[in-house]
Structure 1
Amino acid sequence: MNVEEFEPSAATPSDLAGYYEVAHAVRVADEPGMPPPTYEETAARLTGPPGRVGPVRYWVARVDGTVVGVAQIQLPEEEANRHLALFNVRVHPDFRGRGIGTALFDAMAAVLRGLGRTSAENPQVVEGGPGEAAALARGFRTVHRAVIQTLDLGHVDRTLWEVPAPAGYRIVRWVDAAPDDVVESYADVRGLMGDAPSGDSGYTQPQWTVAKVRRHEQAQRGLGDEIRVVAAVHEETGEIVAFSELRVRSYRRDVAIQSDTVVRTDHRRRGVGGWIKAHHYRWLVDDHPATRSVLTMTSAANAAMIGVNLRVGFTTSLRTVGVAREP
């Protein structure tokens, strides 16, 4: 077995195919019912610009020249997260139990120690699966629990989206860039993501300003994502008090990603969250009839948002844990 750092931009087509084969096999084996990655999706993730968290580095493990394990770390750039690295390790099911995952983690850990990162956290491990058992056996601790839910757009009862508007609110929506007249209150509400339950995760949600919103929008455009936002404006104040963001990816238009959803504390329990989500899905199917499903991930402790998702037609597909330890 050979473990080495992997540079996607310099990778051969066979190496990219090998990386994809591992990612596909792991998804099918460990996350049945979840849409497996396509080759185009895998290649786009590897060779495209880094995501919003920070720079990404990759490793592969080979046996007789064949890629049988892959790993990556993301290095958050926000000052509050400079101690942390987010990572994942995946080993082809046919090659498990040979120390490949441990070797990949050890290679990453040496780099993290050199960078002064004192915590390595994998935020998404299938609960009850082989990854969780392996992590706990190697000294990781559970720091967070989450659920992944799926909205099947082809079979959902769309009458669930006929949600009446709460009194005193109106919808504003946009693609890619928030209008100038609401971007300040939008940034304020985005900053409330830090109030969402996160267990003992070492990751701190960033502070949001208008400048950060604009950088985020530019970065997502660089990834080729279409960012669709539905927000609730409080009529009395003219401020955005809730929003829901959804991504339609250029390389995977059949599966949309529901990312952040926030309702300001003083506007909760008024039906605002379900209302803006229902509007989102009606808008999505009108604009993107080829999109078949929406995926979203929510903290298991956030019973209110899980309930909102269920009421608009989501079903729970998977339960995950986050695990962490010193590198």
Structure 2
Amino acid sequence: MATAQISIQRYQLPESLEGPDARPFIEASDLSNIIEREIWGNDDHCHSAKTRFESARPNGYEDRSTYLAYDGDRIIGKALVDVPLTDNLQTCYALVLVHPDFRRRGVGSALYDAVERHALENSRSILMGWTDHRADFDPSQDVLVPATGAGAYPAASLAARFAIREGFSLAQVDRCSVLPVGGEPTALEALAAEAQQKAGADYAVVDWVDRCPDELLEQYAQLRKTMSTDVPMGELDWEEEVWDGGRVREDEDRLAREGGSSLVRAVLHKPTGRLVGHTFLERRAEKPNIVYQEDTLVLSEHRGHRLGMWLKAANLLAVAAVWPGAQRIYTWNAEENRHMLSVNIELGFAPEGYTAAWQKKLEA
């Protein structure tokens, strides 16, 4: 596969990053960081090659492949393809990146051709991908709006133009929000106390760092399973993920290999002894100032008791003690998820950017 002097090659992940065969992976990781800085204007979402290496390893739940674009022996682009193995068996998840100095030369299209070929070879009929943009555009101007009518993404952006040209449609827009850490905790304490009072005596919060207690493992896995489809998914053809205790442990082990840590809070319904909600945060040692707010879920039959607010406020209050170097917390929510967005605004999160979810149906 080639375009002019550009060659596209599938990259075989090495056993480690120590040998000469790891050089392409390290260069490709540096390229990812160039793109992250270009998008966000900072290093907050950059990662080391070690972190990306652990994330790129295939496991029993996803097969992960990398394609690299070369100009001579210089890496100028990359494409990542994740193939789910236990659920969403019609789908591939893809990412295409091109070095800013080599755009508009067909590199992205050549990489995308490799992605689509990979998907079809794995009998997949749907491709999904995500792109980011800072919140520095006028949403009333030239924007794309998903079918849900919630959110907007700049139509003139490089990512949007590339996605539309390759036949993708805008399926959803997420809002990226950020919360500074280290301010006066009084407001968070008040929100947590008010929510706990609203929840009443039937509920209690349990928490752990890094590893779920064995006795809660399968219940926690069921919450992760429910989370996969309980949140708004826009026009994405997303099926419920398969989660069990083994997948939770794989997720925890991967994060540990990346030098990461998690802070989890779950809510226990005391009359039944069941977990009915959870929230968790993640941080990596290489980036001690940045925390990511991940899932927050309360089972539908237990909503209306401010359990989500209780969980999130209590977890955020713990950040300064567990991770004293933390400065900023990032989170993503679908624009149509107005309830959770309002909770985040109440907690002090402010818009930082937007993530577009793209989808394409493939023909065999």
What TM-score, normalized to structure 2? 0.80
Shift of 1:11: 5.8
2:280, 2:107 → 1: CA distance?
37
1:52, 1:312 → 2: CA distance?
37
Taking a change above 3 Å as real, the CA distance of residues 157 and 301 of structure 1, as seen in their structure-2 partners, is farther
CA contact (8 A) 1:51 1:219 kept: no
Shift of 1:119: 1.4
AA paired with 2:27? Answer: G
- What is the aligned counterpart of 1:65 among 57, 68, 73? 73
CA-to-partner distance for each residue in 1:170-219, whole Å, 9 max, x for gaps?
21001233234444443333332112110121332314344544444444
- 1:208 counterpart = 2:252: no
AA paired with 2:53? Answer: L
Overall identity of the aligned pairs, in %? 24
- 1:227 counterpart = 2:262: yes
Where does residue 2 of structure 1 map in the other structure?
7
Taking a change above 3 Å as real, the CA distance of residues 295 and 53 of structure 1, as seen in their structure-2 partners, is farther
CA RMSD between the two structures: 2.4
CA-to-partner distance for each residue in 1:32-83, whole Å, 9 max, x for gaps?
3572414x2x3321255447851211111122422111110111112x3111
2:31, 2:43 → 1: CA distance?
16
SS of 2:200 mapped into structure 1? coil
2:304, 2:170 → 1: CA distance?
31
- Equivalences for residues 131-280 of structure 1 within 5 A: 131-154=159-182, 156-162=183-189, 163-164=192-193, 165=196, 166-168=199-201, 169-193=203-227, 194-280=229-315
Q: Which runs of 5+ in 1 are unaligned?
A: none
AA paired with 1:186? Answer: Y
CA-to-partner distance for each residue in 1:92-124, whole Å, 9 max, x for gaps?
222211111111011122222111111111034
2:351, 2:244 → 1: CA distance?
33
1:21, 1:34 → 2: CA distance?
12
Taking a change above 3 Å as real, the CA distance of residues 307 and 51 of structure 1, as seen in their structure-2 partners, is farther
Aligned residues between the structures? 323
1:250, 1:75 → 2: CA distance?
28
Shift of 1:15: 2.7
1:184, 1:43 → 2: CA distance?
30
CA contact (8 A) 1:33 1:317 kept: no
Where does residue 104 of structure 2 map in the other structure?
97
- 1:302 counterpart = 2:354: no
What TM-score, normalized to structure 1? 0.89
Shift of 1:136: 0.8
- 1:35 counterpart = 2:44: yes
Q: Which runs of 5+ in 2 are unaligned?
A: 1-5, 134-152
